[in-house]
Chain A
Amino acid sequence: GAGVSQSPSNKVTEKGKDVELRCDPISGHTALYWYRQSLGQGLEFLIYFQGNSAPDKSGLPSDRFSAERTGGSVSTLTIQRTQQEDSAVYLCASSPGSLSTEAFFGQGTRLTVV
Chain B
Amino acid sequence: KAGVTQTPRYLIKTRGQQVTLSCSPISGHRSVSWYQQTPGQGLQFLFEYFSETQRNKGNFPGRFSGRQFSNSRSEMNVSTLELGDSALYLCASSQGTSGGAPSSTDTQYFGPGTRLTVL
Q: Indicate, yes or no, whether A interacts with B.
A: no
